[in-house]
Amino acid sequence: MSQEPSRVLGKRLAVFRDVMIQDSTIIRLHESLATKWPATRSRRVAAGVKVTFLTSAVANSPKSLSILPENTSDMKTLKVGPWVKDIILLFDLGFYKYQLFSRIVENGGFFVSRLKSNANPLIVGINQVHNNRDIDLKRKHLKDIKLENCDDIFDVDVEVSFDRRSYRGKSKKDNIKFRLVAVYNSEADDHHLYLTNISPDILDANEIAALYAARWEIELIFKELKSRYALDMITTKSPYAIEALIWISILTLLISRKVYSVIRKLNPDAKMVRFTQLRWSTIFIENSSRLLSAILDYLGIEQDFFTVLNVYSSEALDPHINRERFREGLWS
């Protein structure tokens, strides 16, 4: 699927190979599985699986994924290497670490992240600032400045300090420059602050904010998996059955995306934004039996009335063989 992209990056993003979003979702499991899949909770015994996705905007589907215990740190779910070259990565605050950002830069990649509330970088350059005040910003720390509503655009270069990864038990301090963008959001009545290494010559401040908002796409994927493909409807205690059910949901998503790509190619004149993912997933589920019938027919497998009855007969049986039935002694 990643080799047959269903999307093309817009003109402003054409200099990049892809935009990728890293995130994960949690599936709650029975507490008896806490040893195999421990949760992050500490007050009581709990179990959970973290399903981590690296989603490609160009492929419009997961590029890679992993199934891990819930207590696995987000930072351990992403391995940065030469593959990030000319790719933009969008992160939430679970990945906020200057070491990670530095490795992305060193490998020729790009990133956009929200700025942590306790971050206080040093301003070392000004790209664009819209305000009504005559303030000298250079060599000031961010928290020394109070952003007003009139500061609708605040685009500066900043410097941060961080510890390099230790080598032979020793680590050293280092400094690196990034771009800090603050865009006023009227709905929240506050500024949204972003950290990035994308040049203002490529994307302006508002475009950085709009790009980061694309992270919502991975949330839609999680919603699709849970509300349409039963990812979070796992009640079994069997580890093998749990992994099978998770993969069934993911494979359903991939098949859905493949058919979606075909439908897009059959409708080249229709605006892509009208093919919304949640609407598509609803249509896909509602017509999945028709798709199965068409596939069986193509393979020469006859699906007659007796085949349907056999499917009903097997699927109607409760898989819990030893479960006691309330009325079992009354009738059979």
pLDDT for the residue 332: 59
Please give the order of strands across the beta sheet that includes 61-69: 61-69, 47-56, 18-29, 87-91, 110-114, 190-196, 173-185, 153-163, 122-130
What is the distance in angstroms between the CA of the first residue and the CA of the last residue of the chain? 51
Q: Cβ neighbours of residue 196 under 8 Å, at least 6 residues apart?
A: 110, 111, 112, 113, 178, 179, 181, 208
pLDDT for the residue 82: 95
Say how far residue 2 (Cα) sits from the centre of its chain: 16
pLDDT for the residue 178: 97
pLDDT for the residue 277: 79
pLDDT for the residue 170: 72
pLDDT for the residue 1: 61
Q: Residues 231, 246: contact at Cβ < 8 Å? A: yes
Distance CA 247, CA 77 (A): 18
DSSP string, 49-94: EEEEEEEETTTTEEEEEEEEETTS-GGGG---SGGGTTEEEEE-GG
pLDDT for the residue 163: 85
pLDDT for the residue 284: 92
pLDDT for the residue 86: 95
**C-alpha distance from residue 244 to each of 55, 100, 231, 251 (Å):** 21, 33, 11, 10
pLDDT for the residue 103: 94
pLDDT in tens, the chain (332 residues): 656 666 778 888 989 999 999 999 999 998 889 889 998 866 777 899 999 999 888 877 788 889 999 999 888 888 899 999 999 999 999 899 999 999 999 999 999 999 999 999 999 998 888 765 566 777 889 988 888 776 678 899 999 998 877 666 677 888 999 999 998 888 888 889 999 999 999 999 999 999 999 888 888 888 989 989 988 888 888 999 999 999 999 999 989 988 888 888 888 777 766 777 788 889 999 999 888 888 888 999 888 888 889 888 888 887 777 777 777 777 65
Distance CA 134, CA 3 (A): 52
pLDDT for the residue 244: 93
